[in-house]
C-alpha cells in the first residue's frame, strides 16, 4: 500500500526539529528508523500530515556510562545495542532484548528511542526499561522533561510524551557489582513479536539475598507491564529457593492480562509468564554472581 501524502522535513539540529514539530501541528510525527511508522503509514493505520526526520540530527546516537547512569541516545540503532561490549558485559538484559528484536534489517534501522516511543506492548524494549527503572529524557517547547519508565507507557501506542516532544535519551542506573539481568522471549519463529516476553533485573546483597528486583512483561496486556507485586515480594528473598521463584512467577502472572489471539490463548500466556519469570530470575542470578554473561 502507498501512504497518504505528507510534507517531509529533514532538520539537522534539535531546535530546528522542535520548531518544525511545533509549526506542523498535532498530526506531525517524528521519523526515526521508520520500522514502525512506515508500516503504519503504508497500511493507512495512521496518516501524519508532516514527517520530521531526525536522522540527520547529530549527537543522538551513543551508549556511555557517566555520573552513575548508563545513557543511551534516542537515535541509537538497535543493532548498536546488540553489538555493544559495554551492554553485553554489564547490562545483559538490554543486550538480550536487542538480540531478540525482529531481524538484522529492522535492527539496523530501528532506534532505541523509536522502539520505546511507539509504545507497542509487543515491543521488547519497554518491558526491559520497566525492569531497569529507566528514566526517559525529552525536549519540548518549554525545555527538557523527564519521565520514569513506569509513568511513560500510558496505553497501547500512547506515551506520556506530548505531540511536540522529542525523546532524546534513555537513562538507566549504572551497573553495580552483585547486579544482573536477563530478557527472555517466547516467540513462534525467530524474529517474531513475543508471545510472552519477560525482563528481570536484580541486585543481591552480601548475604546473597535479593535487595532489589525489577520486572517488566511484554505482550501480556494493553501496555508493557511492571510486575510490581512480584518485585516487592522478591525483596530480601533467597533466589536459590525454588518456591520463591515460583511465587514470583505466580504474582507476575496474576498482574498480566493477555488476550487470546493468533499467538495463543490467554491462559497459556499466563502460564508462560510463570515459566519465563523463573527462567529469567535464574539467569539474572547467575549473572549477578558473575557468571554466564
Ligand atoms: C518486521 C518487523 C518485525 C518487528 N519485530 C519486533 C520485535 O520482535 N520486537 C520489537 O521490539 N519490535 C519489533 N518491531 C518493531 C520495531 O522494532 C520498532 O518498533 C521500531 O524499530 C521503532 O523504532 P524506529 O526508530 O524505527 O521508530 P519509527 O518507526 O521511526 O517511529 C515509531 C514511533 O515513535 C515515534 N518516535 C520515534 N523516535 C522518536 C523520538 N526520538 N521522540 C519522539 N517520538 C519518536 C514516531 O513518531 C513514531 O510514532 C518489528 C518491526 C518490523 C517491521
Task: Encode pLDDT of 140-167 as tens digits.
Answer: 999 999 999 999 999 999 999 999 999 9
What is the predicted pLDDT for the residue at 291? Answer: 76
Q: What are the helix (H) ranges across the chain? A: 14-24, 37-42, 78-83, 85-90, 92-99, 104-109, 112-117, 124-131, 149-152, 228-234, 242-255, 266-288
Query: Mean pLDDT across the stretch 56-82?
Result: 97
CA of 118 relative to ligand 1 center, distance in Å: 6
CA of 90 relative to ligand 1 center, distance in Å: 25
CA of 110 relative to ligand 1 center, distance in Å: 6
What is the predicted pLDDT for the residue at 292? Answer: 66
Any residues with Cβ below 6 Å from ligand 1, and which?
29-37, 39, 74, 101-102, 106, 109-111, 113-115, 117-118, 120, 123-125, 161, 166-167, 193
Phi then psi for 231, rounded to 5 degrees? Answer: -60, -50
CA of 290 relative to ligand 1 center, distance in Å: 33
pLDDT for residue 293 is more than 70: no
For ligand 1, pick from 52, 80, 97, 118 the residue to mutate: most ligand atoms within 8 Å of CB: 118
Q: Could you give the percent of the chain with pLDDT greater than 90?
A: 97
Query: Mean pLDDT across the stretch 60-82?
Result: 97
Q: What per-residue string of b and e applies to 272-287 under the rule 16 or more CB within 10 Å gives b?
A: bbbebbbbbbbbbbbb
Asked if 151 and 249 count as a contact pair (C-beta separation under 8 A), the reply is no
pLDDT in tens, 191-216: 999 999 999 999 999 999 999 999 99
pLDDT in tens, 94-121: 999 999 999 999 999 999 999 999 999 9
Q: Which atom of ligand 1 is nearest to the CA of 165?
A: 43
Q: Which atom of ligand 1 is nearest to the CA of 75?
A: 41
Asked if 274 and 193 count as a contact pair (C-beta separation under 8 A), the reply is no
Q: Could you give the percent of the chain with pLDDT greater than 70?
A: 99
pLDDT for residue 1 is more than 90: no
Query: Mean pLDDT across the stretch 32-43?
Result: 97
Query: Mean pLDDT across the stretch 217-230?
Result: 98
pLDDT for residue 53 is more than 80: yes
Q: Whose CA is nearest to atom 6 of ligand 1?
A: 102
CA of 284 relative to ligand 1 center, distance in Å: 27
CA of 34 relative to ligand 1 center, distance in Å: 6
CB atoms within 10 A of CB 221: 16
Among 278, 259, 249, 159, residue whose Cα is nearest residue 219: 259
pTM of the model: 0.97
Q: What is the DSSP letter of 261?
A: B
pLDDT for residue 280 is more than 70: yes
CA of 238 relative to ligand 1 center, distance in Å: 38
Amino acid at each position: 500500500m502507498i501512504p497518504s501524502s505528507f510534507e517531509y522535513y529533514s532538520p539537522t539540529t534539535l531546535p530546528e526539529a522542535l520548531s518544525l514539530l511545533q509549526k506542523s501541528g498535532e498530526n506531525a510525527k517524528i521519523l526515526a528508523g521508520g520500522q514502525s511508522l512506515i508500516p503504519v503509514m503504508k497500511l493507512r493505520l495512521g496518516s501524519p500530515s508532516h514527517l520530521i526526520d531526525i536522522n540527520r540530527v547529530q549527537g543522538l546516537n551513543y551508549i556511555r556510562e557517566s555520573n552513575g547512569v548508563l545513557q543511551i541516545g534516542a537515535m541509537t540503532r538497535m543493532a548498536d545495542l546488540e553489538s555493544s561490549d559495554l551492554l553485553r558485559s554489564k547490562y545483559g538484559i538490554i543486550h538480550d532484548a536487542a538480540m531478540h528484536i525482529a531481524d538484522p534489517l529492522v535492527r539496523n534501522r530501528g532506534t532505541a528511542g523509536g522502539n520505546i516511543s511507539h509504545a507497542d506492548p509487543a515491543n521488547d524494549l519497554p518491558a526491559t526499561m520497566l525492569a531497569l527503572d529507566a528514566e526517559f529524557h525529552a525536549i519540548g517547547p518549554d525545555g527538557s522533561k523527564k519521565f520514569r519508565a513506569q509513568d511513560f507507557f500510558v496505553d497501547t501506542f500512547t506515551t506520556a510524551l506530548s505531540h511536540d516532544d522529542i525523546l532524546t535519551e534513555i537513562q538507566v542506573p549504572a551497573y553495580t557489582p552483585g547486579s544482573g539481568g536477563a530478557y527472555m522471549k517466547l516467540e513462534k519463529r525467530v524474529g517474531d513479536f513475543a508471545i510472552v516476553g519477560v525482563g528481570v533485573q536484580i541486585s543481591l546483597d552480601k548475604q546473597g539475598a535479593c535487595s532489589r528486583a525489577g520486572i517488566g512483561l511484554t505482550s501480556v496486556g494493553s501496555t508493557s507491564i511492571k510486575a510490581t507485586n512480584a518485585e516487592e515480594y522478591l525483596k530480601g528473598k533467597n533466589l536459590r529457593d525454588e518456591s520463591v521463584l515460583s511465587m514470583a512467577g505466580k504474582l507476575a502472572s496474576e498482574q498480566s492480562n493477555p488476550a487470546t489471539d493468533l499467538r495463543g490463548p490467554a491462559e497459556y500466556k499466563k502460564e508462560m509468564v510463570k515459566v519465563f519469570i523463573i527462567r529469567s530470575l535464574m539467569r539474572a542470578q547467575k549473572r549477578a554472581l558473575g557468571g554466564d554473561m
